[in-house]
């Protein structure tokens, strides 16, 4: 069963705390993504990973970093979270060619107080 | 830079009606165009995509989309909607040599009984 999983699904943190969002996929996809979704803005790309230890910044990387040590896992890290990072975060994966088809996880709703 | 415009933030129809959700894009090169659906509280799911050939592409659950190069459009249609089609629909564009998807801001479709 092709699946992208995200943990945790809901998270509340205080400003200045560190945040770790985890993503896994069971399709052996080379490429993985982190997006954030805010009302009225669609999805914005934070980082893209082309394979293990091959990561590139997306459109809004400031305040975030990522780690990909295994093909099936991709982590998003917020060092010292800020209130404006309150959002819903989605992980996705695709084959290396992409072809406009990505598989999305269920999302993590992060609230930074 | 690719841009995607979805002019209607909200569309409301009755069950059994036909619906068209509009998408216009701006990009000069070779691209993939795709549509995704997001039910409340869930991640995005791929509906259909176009790259070349027949400008009308069929997707899941009776959805189809038509590409028009002259209008720079890729509108999504369904002949007879069901209440379960209520969701947010996102149009996306990606360059064929690049994995990144650029999303529109989404159209919320509400199907009234």
Q: What is the mean pLDDT of residues A15-26?
A: 97
Answer left, alpha or beta for residue A99, where phi above 0 means left and psi between -120 and 50 means alpha.
Answer: left
Q: How far is A80 from chain B (nearest CA, A)?
A: 26
- pLDDT surpasses 90 at A51: yes
φ, ψ for residue B60, nearest 5 deg = -80, 160
The whole-number pLDDT of residue A50 equals 92
- Angle in degrees, CA B80, B56, B61, rounded to 5: 35
Q: pLDDT tens digits for B90-107?
A: 999 988 767 788 899 999
Mean pLDDT of chain B: 92
Q: What is the pLDDT of residue B97?
A: 67
Interchain contact, A43 vs B49, CB within 8 Å: no
Q: Determine the pLDDT at residue B1.
A: 65
In eight-state DSSP terms, residue A9 is S
> Which residue among B43, B96, B104 sits closest to A90, beta carbon to beta carbon?
B43
What integer is the mean pLDDT of B11-35?
92
Pairing between β-strand B107-112 and β-strand B10-14 as defined by DSSP bridges: parallel
Q: How many angstroms separate the CA atoms of B11 and A72, rounded?
A: 38
% pLDDT > 70, chain A: 96
Task: Give the pLDDT band of residue B47 (cuts 50, 70, 90).
Answer: very high
Of A42, A99, A105, Cβ closest to residue B32: A99
Min Cα distance A94 → chain B (Å) is: 8
Tokens of A21: 């969002």
Best B23, B36, B40, B44 member to test A by mutation, with max A CBs in 10 Å, is B44
Measured CA to CA, the distance from residue A15 to residue B55 in angstroms comes to 49
DSSP state of B101: -
């Amino acid at each position: 069963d092709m699946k992208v999983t995200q943990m945790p699904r809901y998270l509340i943190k205080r400003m200045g705390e560190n945040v770790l969002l985890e993503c896994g996929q069971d399709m052996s996809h080379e490429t993985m993504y982190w997006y954030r979704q805010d009302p009225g803005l669609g999805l914005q790309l934070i980082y893209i990973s082309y394979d293990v230890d091959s990561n590139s910044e997306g459109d809004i990387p400031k305040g975030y970093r990522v780690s990909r040590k295994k093909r099936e896992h991709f982590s998003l890290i917020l060092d010292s979270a800020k209130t404006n990072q309150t959002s819903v975060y989605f992980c996705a994966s695709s084959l290396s060619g992409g072809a406009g088809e990505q598989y999305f996880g269920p999302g993590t709703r992060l609230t930074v107080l | 830079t690719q841009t995607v415009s979805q002019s209607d933030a909200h569309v409301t129809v009755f069950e059994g009606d036909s619906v068209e959700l509009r998408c216009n894009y701006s990009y000069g090169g070779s691209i993939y165009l795709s549509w995704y659906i997001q039910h409340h509280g869930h991640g995005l799911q791929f509906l259909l995509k176009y790259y070349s050939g027949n400008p009308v592409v069929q997707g899941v659950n009776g959805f189809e989309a038509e590409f028009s190069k002259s209008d720079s459009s890729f509108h999504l249609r369904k002949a007879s909607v069901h209440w379960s089609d209520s969701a947010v629909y996102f149009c996306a564009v990606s360059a064929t040599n690049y994995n990144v998807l650029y999303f529109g801001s989404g159209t919320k479709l509400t199907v009234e009984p």
